Structure 1
Protein backbone atom coordinates (compact mmCIF):
# COMPACT_ATOMS: atom_id res chain seq x y z
CA UNK A 1 0.00 0.00 0.00
CA UNK A 2 1.40 3.40 -1.00
CA UNK A 3 1.97 6.29 1.39
CA UNK A 4 -0.74 8.43 -0.26
CA UNK A 5 -3.36 5.69 0.10
CA UNK A 6 -2.55 5.35 3.81
CA UNK A 7 -2.98 9.11 4.30
CA UNK A 8 -6.25 9.05 2.35
CA UNK A 9 -7.55 6.17 4.46
CA UNK A 10 -6.73 7.98 7.71
CA UNK A 11 -8.32 11.18 6.45
CA UNK A 12 -11.56 9.44 5.51
CA UNK A 13 -11.58 7.68 8.90
CA UNK A 14 -11.18 10.95 10.85
CA UNK A 15 -13.74 12.75 8.69
CA UNK A 16 -16.31 10.01 9.33
CA UNK A 17 -15.64 10.23 13.07
CA UNK A 18 -16.09 13.99 12.95
CA UNK A 19 -19.41 13.65 11.15
CA UNK A 20 -20.57 11.21 13.80
CA UNK A 21 -19.75 13.69 16.59
CA UNK A 22 -21.64 16.62 15.04
CA UNK A 23 -25.37 17.03 15.63
CA UNK A 24 -27.57 16.57 12.55
CA UNK A 25 -29.40 19.57 11.13
CA UNK A 26 -32.77 18.64 12.67
CA UNK A 27 -31.46 19.13 16.22
CA UNK A 28 -32.40 22.47 17.83
CA UNK A 29 -30.48 24.59 20.34
CA UNK A 30 -31.30 24.01 24.05
CA UNK A 31 -32.90 26.69 26.24
CA UNK A 32 -31.36 26.50 29.70
CA UNK A 33 -32.70 29.59 31.48
CA UNK A 34 -36.06 29.05 33.16
CA UNK A 35 -37.27 32.59 32.54
CA UNK A 36 -36.79 32.11 28.80
CA UNK A 37 -38.56 28.75 29.03
CA UNK A 38 -41.55 30.41 30.71
CA UNK A 39 -41.63 33.13 28.05
CA UNK A 40 -41.57 30.60 25.21
CA UNK A 41 -43.80 27.97 26.77
CA UNK A 42 -46.22 27.82 23.85
CA UNK A 43 -43.34 27.61 21.37
CA UNK A 44 -41.60 24.88 23.35
CA UNK A 45 -44.73 22.74 23.31
CA UNK A 46 -44.27 22.41 19.53
CA UNK A 47 -40.80 20.91 20.05
CA UNK A 48 -41.81 17.92 22.19
CA UNK A 49 -40.97 15.50 19.37
CA UNK A 50 -37.98 17.42 18.01
CA UNK A 51 -34.48 16.30 19.11
CA UNK A 52 -32.60 18.91 21.14
CA UNK A 53 -28.85 19.33 21.50
CA UNK A 54 -27.25 18.70 24.88
CA UNK A 55 -26.49 21.79 26.94
CA UNK A 56 -22.82 22.73 27.26
CA UNK A 57 -21.02 22.29 30.57
CA UNK A 58 -20.74 26.00 31.35
CA UNK A 59 -24.48 26.66 30.94
CA UNK A 60 -26.29 27.12 34.23
CA UNK A 61 -29.64 28.32 35.52
CA UNK A 62 -28.44 29.59 38.91
CA UNK A 63 -28.80 33.20 40.02
CA UNK A 64 -25.01 33.52 39.84
CA UNK A 65 -24.84 32.77 36.11
CA UNK A 66 -24.85 35.64 33.65
CA UNK A 67 -24.11 35.50 29.91
CA UNK A 68 -22.38 38.90 29.81
CA UNK A 69 -20.13 37.98 32.73
CA UNK A 70 -19.22 34.62 31.18
CA UNK A 71 -18.32 36.27 27.87
CA UNK A 72 -16.21 38.85 29.69
CA UNK A 73 -14.33 36.04 31.45
CA UNK A 74 -13.69 34.36 28.09
CA UNK A 75 -12.28 37.59 26.63
CA UNK A 76 -10.02 38.17 29.65
CA UNK A 77 -8.70 34.59 29.52
CA UNK A 78 -5.18 34.14 28.17
CA UNK A 79 -3.49 30.81 27.45
CA UNK A 80 -6.53 28.89 28.74
CA UNK A 81 -6.19 30.17 32.34
CA UNK A 82 -9.90 30.80 32.93
CA UNK A 83 -9.52 30.49 36.73
CA UNK A 84 -7.24 33.54 36.76
CA UNK A 85 -9.65 35.44 34.50
CA UNK A 86 -12.56 34.66 36.82
CA UNK A 87 -10.52 35.87 39.81
CA UNK A 88 -9.62 39.11 38.03
CA UNK A 89 -13.25 39.82 37.14
CA UNK A 90 -14.34 39.04 40.72
CA UNK A 91 -11.79 41.57 42.02
CA UNK A 92 -13.06 44.07 39.46
CA UNK A 93 -16.63 43.63 40.72
CA UNK A 94 -15.40 44.01 44.29
CA UNK A 95 -13.70 47.32 43.49
CA UNK A 96 -16.82 48.57 41.66
CA UNK A 97 -18.97 47.62 44.66
CA UNK A 98 -16.60 49.39 47.07
CA UNK A 99 -16.46 52.55 44.94
CA UNK A 100 -20.21 52.79 44.47
CA UNK A 101 -20.87 52.07 48.15
CA UNK A 102 -18.46 54.85 49.13
CA UNK A 103 -20.22 57.27 46.76
CA UNK A 104 -23.58 56.23 48.21
CA UNK A 105 -22.40 56.89 51.79
CA UNK A 106 -20.96 60.28 50.87
CA UNK A 107 -23.99 61.35 48.84
CA UNK A 108 -26.19 64.03 50.39
CA UNK A 109 -29.20 63.52 48.15
CA UNK A 110 -31.07 60.33 47.28
CA UNK A 111 -28.75 57.45 48.05
CA UNK A 112 -31.03 54.89 46.39
CA UNK A 113 -30.30 56.44 42.99
CA UNK A 114 -26.70 55.15 43.11
CA UNK A 115 -26.41 51.66 41.67
CA UNK A 116 -24.10 49.36 43.64
CA UNK A 117 -24.73 46.17 41.64
CA UNK A 118 -21.50 45.49 39.71
CA UNK A 119 -23.08 43.08 37.21
CA UNK A 120 -25.80 45.60 36.34
CA UNK A 121 -23.16 48.29 35.86
CA UNK A 122 -21.19 45.97 33.55
CA UNK A 123 -24.29 45.37 31.40
CA UNK A 124 -25.01 49.10 31.33
CA UNK A 125 -21.41 49.86 30.34
CA UNK A 126 -21.51 47.30 27.51
CA UNK A 127 -24.80 48.73 26.25
CA UNK A 128 -23.36 52.27 26.25
CA UNK A 129 -20.27 51.09 24.32
CA UNK A 130 -22.06 49.03 21.67
CA UNK A 131 -21.54 50.40 18.14
CA UNK A 132 -24.37 50.18 15.63
CA UNK A 133 -22.30 50.81 12.50
CA UNK A 134 -18.75 50.33 11.35
CA UNK A 135 -16.78 51.34 8.26
CA UNK A 136 -15.35 48.81 5.84
CA UNK A 137 -12.93 49.41 2.96
CA UNK A 138 -14.53 48.82 -0.46
CA UNK A 139 -12.59 49.41 -3.68
CA UNK A 140 -14.43 50.89 -6.66
CA UNK A 141 -12.71 52.13 -9.82
CA UNK A 142 -9.25 52.05 -8.31
CA UNK A 143 -10.32 54.13 -5.30
CA UNK A 144 -10.83 52.71 -1.81
CA UNK A 145 -13.85 54.09 0.06
CA UNK A 146 -14.66 53.79 3.75
CA UNK A 147 -18.27 52.59 3.53
CA UNK A 148 -20.51 52.53 6.63
CA UNK A 149 -22.26 49.19 7.14
CA UNK A 150 -24.45 47.89 10.00
CA UNK A 151 -23.04 45.19 12.25
CA UNK A 152 -24.75 42.25 13.93
CA UNK A 153 -25.79 42.28 17.57
CA UNK A 154 -23.26 39.61 18.47
CA UNK A 155 -20.45 41.58 16.82
CA UNK A 156 -21.46 44.79 18.59
CA UNK A 157 -21.32 43.11 22.02
CA UNK A 158 -17.92 41.64 21.17
CA UNK A 159 -16.53 45.03 20.14
CA UNK A 160 -17.89 46.72 23.29
CA UNK A 161 -16.20 44.20 25.61
CA UNK A 162 -13.00 44.17 23.54
CA UNK A 163 -12.78 47.97 23.66
CA UNK A 164 -13.27 47.97 27.44
CA UNK A 165 -10.43 45.48 27.88
CA UNK A 166 -8.17 47.30 25.40
CA UNK A 167 -8.73 50.60 27.21
CA UNK A 168 -7.92 48.97 30.56
CA UNK A 169 -4.76 47.33 29.23
CA UNK A 170 -3.53 50.56 27.63
CA UNK A 171 -3.30 52.33 31.00
CA UNK A 172 -0.33 52.35 33.37
CA UNK A 173 1.24 48.95 33.93
CA UNK A 174 1.87 49.81 37.60
CA UNK A 175 -1.88 49.60 38.25
CA UNK A 176 -3.50 46.17 38.40
CA UNK A 177 -5.95 45.08 35.69
CA UNK A 178 -9.00 44.81 38.03
CA UNK A 179 -8.54 48.41 39.14
CA UNK A 180 -8.11 49.74 35.59
CA UNK A 181 -11.05 47.69 34.31
CA UNK A 182 -13.24 48.90 37.18
CA UNK A 183 -12.51 52.52 36.23
CA UNK A 184 -13.39 51.88 32.59
CA UNK A 185 -16.63 50.08 33.45
CA UNK A 186 -17.74 52.84 35.82
CA UNK A 187 -16.94 55.54 33.26
CA UNK A 188 -18.75 53.69 30.47
CA UNK A 189 -21.76 52.95 32.70
CA UNK A 190 -22.16 56.71 33.25
CA UNK A 191 -21.84 57.46 29.52
CA UNK A 192 -18.32 58.86 29.57
CA UNK A 193 -14.74 57.66 29.19
CA UNK A 194 -12.49 56.63 26.33
CA UNK A 195 -14.58 53.69 25.16
CA UNK A 196 -17.77 55.75 24.77
CA UNK A 197 -15.72 58.40 22.94
CA UNK A 198 -14.34 55.70 20.64
CA UNK A 199 -17.87 54.56 19.80
CA UNK A 200 -18.99 58.14 19.16
CA UNK A 201 -15.98 58.76 16.90
CA UNK A 202 -16.83 55.63 14.91
CA UNK A 203 -20.47 56.74 14.51
CA UNK A 204 -19.28 60.22 13.53
CA UNK A 205 -17.01 58.70 10.86
CA UNK A 206 -19.91 56.62 9.54
CA UNK A 207 -22.07 59.75 9.42
CA UNK A 208 -19.43 61.70 7.47
CA UNK A 209 -19.05 58.83 4.96
CA UNK A 210 -22.76 58.20 4.46
CA UNK A 211 -22.46 59.44 0.85
CA UNK A 212 -20.57 56.23 0.03
CA UNK A 213 -23.20 53.92 1.55
CA UNK A 214 -24.50 52.90 -1.91
CA UNK A 215 -21.15 51.22 -2.70
CA UNK A 216 -22.16 48.49 -0.27
CA UNK A 217 -24.63 47.06 -2.82
CA UNK A 218 -22.94 48.07 -6.08
Structure 2
Protein backbone atom coordinates (compact mmCIF):
# COMPACT_ATOMS: atom_id res chain seq x y z
CA UNK A 1 0.00 0.00 0.00
CA UNK A 2 1.59 3.24 -1.13
CA UNK A 3 -0.59 5.85 0.49
CA UNK A 4 -2.16 6.02 3.91
CA UNK A 5 -5.87 5.45 4.29
CA UNK A 6 -8.16 8.46 4.11
CA UNK A 7 -9.26 9.69 7.53
CA UNK A 8 -12.94 9.37 8.38
CA UNK A 9 -14.31 12.86 8.72
CA UNK A 10 -16.69 13.81 11.48
CA UNK A 11 -20.05 14.90 10.06
CA UNK A 12 -21.84 17.66 11.93
CA UNK A 13 -25.48 16.70 12.70
CA UNK A 14 -28.17 18.70 10.91
CA UNK A 15 -29.72 21.68 12.74
CA UNK A 16 -33.35 20.50 12.82
CA UNK A 17 -33.26 16.79 13.69
CA UNK A 18 -29.71 16.62 15.18
CA UNK A 19 -29.04 13.57 12.99
CA UNK A 20 -25.74 12.78 11.21
CA UNK A 21 -27.43 10.56 8.63
CA UNK A 22 -29.67 13.46 7.55
CA UNK A 23 -26.58 15.67 7.28
CA UNK A 24 -24.80 13.12 5.04
CA UNK A 25 -27.89 12.83 2.87
CA UNK A 26 -28.15 16.61 2.48
CA UNK A 27 -24.43 16.84 1.62
CA UNK A 28 -25.01 14.34 -1.20
CA UNK A 29 -28.16 16.16 -2.31
CA UNK A 30 -26.35 19.50 -2.48
CA UNK A 31 -25.46 20.87 -5.92
CA UNK A 32 -22.91 23.66 -6.52
CA UNK A 33 -22.39 24.20 -2.77
CA UNK A 34 -25.98 25.35 -2.20
CA UNK A 35 -26.46 23.69 1.17
CA UNK A 36 -29.37 25.81 2.41
CA UNK A 37 -31.32 24.91 -0.74
CA UNK A 38 -30.49 21.21 -0.20
CA UNK A 39 -31.72 21.47 3.41
CA UNK A 40 -34.96 23.16 2.33
CA UNK A 41 -35.57 20.42 -0.27
CA UNK A 42 -34.93 17.66 2.28
CA UNK A 43 -37.01 19.23 5.07
CA UNK A 44 -39.82 19.92 2.60
CA UNK A 45 -39.74 16.28 1.48
CA UNK A 46 -39.85 15.09 5.11
CA UNK A 47 -42.88 17.35 5.76
CA UNK A 48 -44.67 15.86 2.73
CA UNK A 49 -43.86 12.34 4.00
CA UNK A 50 -45.24 13.22 7.47
CA UNK A 51 -48.46 14.62 5.97
CA UNK A 52 -49.09 11.62 3.72
CA UNK A 53 -48.11 8.82 6.15
CA UNK A 54 -49.01 10.36 9.53
CA UNK A 55 -45.72 9.00 10.90
CA UNK A 56 -42.42 10.54 12.00
CA UNK A 57 -40.70 11.63 8.77
CA UNK A 58 -37.14 10.90 9.93
CA UNK A 59 -38.12 7.36 11.02
CA UNK A 60 -39.70 6.73 7.59
CA UNK A 61 -36.49 8.09 6.01
CA UNK A 62 -34.32 5.73 8.13
CA UNK A 63 -36.54 2.77 7.23
CA UNK A 64 -36.31 3.72 3.56
CA UNK A 65 -32.53 3.97 3.70
CA UNK A 66 -32.27 0.58 5.46
CA UNK A 67 -34.36 -0.94 2.65
CA UNK A 68 -31.98 0.52 0.06
CA UNK A 69 -28.51 -0.32 1.45
CA UNK A 70 -26.92 -3.34 -0.28
CA UNK A 71 -25.25 -6.22 1.58
CA UNK A 72 -23.20 -7.51 -1.37
CA UNK A 73 -21.97 -6.08 -4.67
CA UNK A 74 -19.93 -7.31 -7.61
CA UNK A 75 -16.46 -6.06 -8.48
CA UNK A 76 -14.60 -6.76 -11.72
CA UNK A 77 -11.48 -8.88 -11.33
CA UNK A 78 -9.15 -9.96 -14.13
CA UNK A 79 -7.88 -13.50 -13.85
CA UNK A 80 -5.76 -14.86 -16.69
CA UNK A 81 -7.20 -12.75 -19.49
CA UNK A 82 -10.82 -13.17 -18.43
CA UNK A 83 -12.78 -10.64 -16.40
CA UNK A 84 -14.99 -12.06 -13.66
CA UNK A 85 -17.68 -10.30 -11.68
CA UNK A 86 -16.67 -11.28 -8.15
CA UNK A 87 -19.28 -10.85 -5.38
CA UNK A 88 -17.90 -9.04 -2.32
CA UNK A 89 -19.44 -7.85 0.93
CA UNK A 90 -20.00 -4.13 1.23
CA UNK A 91 -18.36 -2.24 4.11
CA UNK A 92 -20.75 -0.32 6.41
CA UNK A 93 -19.58 3.17 5.34
CA UNK A 94 -19.89 2.26 1.66
CA UNK A 95 -23.34 0.71 2.23
CA UNK A 96 -24.60 4.00 3.62
CA UNK A 97 -23.03 6.02 0.81
CA UNK A 98 -24.40 3.77 -1.93
CA UNK A 99 -27.89 3.82 -0.41
CA UNK A 100 -27.89 7.60 -0.20
CA UNK A 101 -26.60 8.04 -3.77
CA UNK A 102 -29.11 5.58 -5.20
CA UNK A 103 -32.03 7.25 -3.41
CA UNK A 104 -31.04 10.68 -4.73
CA UNK A 105 -30.43 9.38 -8.28
CA UNK A 106 -33.80 7.64 -8.52
CA UNK A 107 -35.60 10.57 -6.88
CA UNK A 108 -34.13 12.88 -9.54
CA UNK A 109 -35.16 10.55 -12.36
CA UNK A 110 -38.79 10.36 -11.17
CA UNK A 111 -41.32 12.42 -13.02
CA UNK A 112 -43.00 14.83 -10.65
CA UNK A 113 -43.34 18.50 -10.00
CA UNK A 114 -40.62 19.62 -7.62
CA UNK A 115 -37.56 17.88 -6.22
CA UNK A 116 -39.26 17.93 -2.79
CA UNK A 117 -42.18 15.89 -4.10
CA UNK A 118 -39.93 13.52 -6.06
CA UNK A 119 -37.73 12.91 -3.00
CA UNK A 120 -40.77 12.43 -0.75
CA UNK A 121 -42.24 9.92 -3.22
CA UNK A 122 -38.94 8.00 -3.41
CA UNK A 123 -38.59 7.94 0.40
CA UNK A 124 -42.15 6.62 0.84
CA UNK A 125 -41.70 4.03 -1.91
CA UNK A 126 -38.38 2.84 -0.44
CA UNK A 127 -39.93 2.60 3.04
CA UNK A 128 -42.56 0.24 1.58
CA UNK A 129 -39.87 -1.77 -0.21
CA UNK A 130 -40.58 -0.49 -3.72
CA UNK A 131 -39.19 2.23 -5.96
CA UNK A 132 -36.13 2.59 -8.16
CA UNK A 133 -33.51 2.55 -5.40
CA UNK A 134 -34.85 -0.69 -3.89
CA UNK A 135 -34.97 -2.23 -7.37
CA UNK A 136 -31.30 -1.25 -7.85
CA UNK A 137 -30.42 -3.01 -4.59
CA UNK A 138 -32.30 -6.15 -5.63
CA UNK A 139 -30.58 -6.13 -9.04
CA UNK A 140 -27.18 -5.81 -7.32
CA UNK A 141 -27.99 -8.73 -5.02
CA UNK A 142 -29.25 -10.81 -7.97
CA UNK A 143 -26.03 -10.11 -9.88
CA UNK A 144 -23.95 -11.18 -6.86
CA UNK A 145 -26.05 -14.34 -6.46
CA UNK A 146 -25.62 -15.21 -10.15
CA UNK A 147 -21.82 -14.84 -9.89
CA UNK A 148 -21.46 -16.71 -6.61
CA UNK A 149 -19.35 -19.34 -8.42
CA UNK A 150 -16.53 -16.77 -8.75
CA UNK A 151 -16.45 -15.86 -5.07
CA UNK A 152 -13.19 -17.79 -4.63
CA UNK A 153 -11.46 -15.01 -6.64
CA UNK A 154 -11.95 -12.65 -3.68
CA UNK A 155 -9.55 -9.76 -3.32
TM-score normalised over the length of structure 1: 0.63
Cross-structure match for 1:125: 64
State how 1:156-171 maps to structure 2 within 5 Å: 156-171=95-110
Whether 2:135 is the aligned partner of 1:135: answer no
If asked which structure has higher relative contact order (CA below 8 Å, sep 6+), I would say 2
- CA-to-partner distance for each residue in 1:57-99, whole Å, 9 max, x for gaps? 9358x88301111111111111111111111111101111111
- Helix, strand or coil at the partner of 1:168: helix
Greater alpha carbon shift after TM alignment, 132-141 vs 187-196:
187-196
Computing the radius of gyration from Cα coordinates, the structure with the larger value is: 1
- Helix, strand or coil at the partner of 2:12: coil
- Helix, strand or coil at the partner of 1:79: coil
CA contact under 8 A between 2:68 and 2:126: conserved in structure 1?
yes
Number of residue-to-residue matches in the alignment: 147
Cross-structure match for 2:119: 181
Structure 1, unpaired ranges of 5+: 1-28, 30-55, 102-115
Distance 1:58 1:187 in 2: 28
- Cα RMSD over matched residues? 2.0
Whether 2:4 is the aligned partner of 1:65: answer no
- Helix, strand or coil at the partner of 1:137: strand
CA contact under 8 A between 2:12 and 2:20: conserved in structure 1?
no
Distance 1:57 1:182 in 2: 23
Given the superposition, is the C-alpha separation of residues 57 and 151 from structure 1 closer, same or farther in structure 2, using an over 3 Å criterion? closer
